[in-house]
Amino acid sequence: MRDPQSPSATPTAYDMELCVVELRAALAAHGITLPSLRVDLPTFAGTYPPPAGLIALGNCNTATASKLAAVLREGAAQ
């Protein structure tokens, strides 16, 4: 099994979906829900090397974005 943290590893659609599930659970543990959190599948078709795929986090309101930023700052301080 390859290490998904390895810089040479190219994530699959399954890897990306698993990442979304884990991120959604981690955010939910802090009371944060991002309905738009998803895999951005068109990024797998990109021409940049290597095609890696992106996670879409956008379309959240200001209160959610502020709460997310606070949780991330708190986590970085630990």
Task: Give the pLDDT confidence of 10-65 residue by residue, as tens digits.
Answer: 777 788 889 899 999 988 988 888 888 888 877 767 665 666 678 888 777 788 88
Query: How much is the pLDDT for 21?
Result: 92
Query: How crowded is residue 8: how many other Cβ atoms within 10 Å of its Cβ?
Result: 7
Query: How much is the pLDDT for 1?
Result: 43
Query: How much is the pLDDT for 48?
Result: 59
* CA geometry: angle 26, 69, 44, nearest 5 deg: 65
Query: How much is the pLDDT for 31?
Result: 87
Query: How much is the pLDDT for 32?
Result: 87
Judge whether 41 and 23 are in contact, CB under 8 Å: no
pTM of the model: 0.69
User: Taking the domains of the chain in order of start, what are their residue ranges?
Assistant: 13-77
Own/partner pairs for 15-23, CB < 8 Å, 24+ apart? Answer: 16/53, 16/55, 19/55, 20/55, 23/55
Query: Residue 8 gets which letter from DSSP?
Result: T
